[in-house]
Amino acid sequence: MIFGLAFLGNQVAENPGADETFAMGLGPGEIRMAARLLREARYAWALTGAGVSTASGIPDFRGPQGLWRTHDPEEVSTIDGFHRNPQAFYSFWLWRFQNMRKAQPNPVHKLLAALEARGLLQGVITQNIDGLHQRAGSRRVLEVHGHVRSATCLSCGRKYSMEWVAGEVEREGLARCACGGLVKPDVVLFGEPLTPDFEVAQREVAKADLLFVLGTSLTVWPVAGLVPLALGHGARLIIANAEPTPYDLHSDVLLRGDLVVMSELLARVLEVDLAGS
């Protein structure tokens, strides 16, 4: 069991031999190189973060309009904060749940589903809890930070739907089980163990010859550790993100820019129909 989500922006594996002449941007050369790596890979995985879903109307956490600019993560995203002030936690998560329920997959989700269908990806390892990868058609999705499809009583373990939780929060400000315990969405908070999917993700990345990273700052551990795990056995690395990450200099291709634009350009080169995916 893997414990302790942590925000460790400076925890980067040393790699003195990293090639600093990597391709960077969304130009034709970078897109063609990313497409070539995807075609040549025999066992490729995608790793996604909140930036993949911003085009669906779900804010990320650390970007220019990120949630942590207006909300205190210690209050609404830690297990200690949940127990200390459950009303603040439920208020934040009710708004997020309602937002996610209305959201639709965007071209980034559709591209990854299409690449899996074509056999160019084994699946998606995601830090996201919104379920949009599955709704876009991805079949193998490892949800290392959980999901918002259900919730669990922390006292007796009884399962509830998020619709029930939302109704209770709207009426009472809290969601309590019949036993009196607090009911928490099945998402991983800071200070909690990751889901069993993370151990599966580690095993899969240990076999991968390509890791395609999209929409994540790569500063939250232990998930960020999947990148040095891949690099450690010689896997190629594509990073697609609007902002810099600690691993940019270790990538073979750096697709810096809007992820929807990147997805549309890459789909064109790979002859993937996003409208039909």
Which pLDDT score, from 0 to 100, does residue 71 have?
Answer: 63
- Walk along the chain (277 residues) in steps of 10 and give the mean pLDDT of each run: 39 35 71 97 97 89 60 77 91 84 95 97 97 97 96 97 93 94 94 96 98 95 96 97 94 95 96 81
Beta bridge partners of 238: 212, 253
Name the catalytic one among 71, 109, 133, 145.
145
Report residue 123 as tokens.
């699946």
Domain residue ranges of the chain, discontinuous segments joined by +: 1-58+106-145+192-277, 64-102+149-187
Which pLDDT score, from 0 to 100, does residue 220 have?
Answer: 87
- Pick among 2.40.50.140, 3.40.50.1220, 3.40.1640.10, 1.10.630.10: CATH of 1-58+106-145+192-277: 3.40.50.1220
Which pLDDT score, from 0 to 100, does residue 247 have?
Answer: 97
Q: Is 83 a catalytic residue?
A: no
Which pLDDT score, from 0 to 100, does residue 69 have?
Answer: 61
Q: For the chain, list the strands marked E by DSSP.
A: 6-7, 23-24, 44-48, 123-126, 141-143, 146-153, 159-161, 183-187, 210-214, 220-221, 236-241, 253-256
Beta bridge partners of 124: 46, 141
Which pLDDT score, from 0 to 100, does residue 47 have?
Answer: 98
Q: What pTM was estimated for this model as a whole?
A: 0.88
Report residue 44 as tokens.
């490729």
64-102+149-187 belongs to which homologous superfamily?
SIR2/SIRT2 'Small Domain' (3.30.1600.10)
64 prior amide bond cis, ω within 30: no
**Residue found under tokens 């056995």:** 233
